[in-house]
Amino acid sequence: DTGVSQDPRHKITKRGQNVTFRCDPISEHNRLYWYRQTLGQGPEFLTYFQNEAQLEKSRLLSDRFSAERPKGSFSTLEIQRTEQGDSAMYLCAHPTGDSLNTGELFFGEGSRLTVL
Amino acid sequence: EDQVTQSPEALRLQEGESSSLNCSYTVSGLRGLFWYRQDPGKGPEFLFTLYSAGEEKEKERLKATLTKKESFLHITAPKPEDSATYLCAVNSGNTPLVFGKGTRLSVIA
């Protein structure tokens, strides 16, 4: 089954505040991905999990970003001390169906962050 | 480093006016080239995977083709509901997807 719930859908915060996004796949998937998309750009890879293990992190993921997937199901992405440059859509995704092809992803509708 | 360049950035078509979108790529060892559709305020929706030069995939009014350097997404007799941003992406080995910036397609009735 495919399907991803992301919460919140929209978040407006002041610079310097911390924010947390949550991603809930509707069924179990070993792999879970986080991407970031700014206006007029394609999604950019941030990090991915294989079950509970965070296997790869992009250099875009500064020390202010942390992601977890404690039980291998839902995942959280936290941004500390937000900056205006963090304003973007944060997308969560998992592989489609039984495909082992890591390029065939089902994306959630995203969490849009605006940092004032 | 894998790179993807899409053109044009935006395309405006009349309903029924066929056209093509281009995706040029540079990758060391292509594992797959992927097309996605993205509607405003939504996440990307997977359309096609192409693995090797000469391969073609079709879905309704869309047909994707692949050469060693580029891919085309042909849109035949488009309808207003085909309006969206079309994203191209590649991966090599076990690397994550690298996306282009997309082509914003508007189909006018």
Which positions ≥6 away from B21 have C-beta within 8 Å? B6, B7, B8, B11, B72, B73, B75, B86, B103, B105
Closest CA to B61 of B9, B5, B18: B18
Dump pLDDT digits (tens) for A40-84: 999 999 999 999 999 989 988 899 999 999 988 899 999 999 999
Average pLDDT for A86-111: 88
| Residue carrying structure tokens 């993921």 | A61
Give the span between the Cα atoms of A95 and B19, in whole angstroms: 30
Q: For residue A100, is pLDDT > 70?
A: no
Q: Is A106 on the interface with B (CB under 8 A)?
A: yes
- Comparing CA positions, the residue from A115, A105, A116, A114 lying closest to residue A42 is A105
Give the DSSP letter string of B29-75. Answer: SEEEEEEEEE-TTS--EEEEEE-STT-EEEETTEEEEE-SSEEEEEE
* pLDDT tens digits, one per residue of A12-45: 999 999 999 999 998 878 899 999 999 999 999 9
- Find the closest chain A residue to B6 by CA distance: A42
Residues facing residue A49 across a β-bridge: A32, A54
A105 touches chain B (CB under 8 A): yes
pLDDT band at A1 (very low <50, low <70, confident <90, very high): low
B86 has a chain A CB within 8 A of its CB: no
- Please tell me the distance from the alpha carbon of residue A54 to that of residue B52, in angstroms, as a whole number: 31
Q: What are the residues whose beta carbons fall under 8 Å from the beta carbon of A26, sequence distance 6 or more?
A: A1, A2, A3, A4, A5
Q: What is the mean pLDDT of chain B?
A: 95
Cα dihedral value A38, A72, A63, A18, nearest 10: 70
- The single-letter DSSP state of residue A38 is -
Size of interface A-B (CB pairs under 8 A): 57
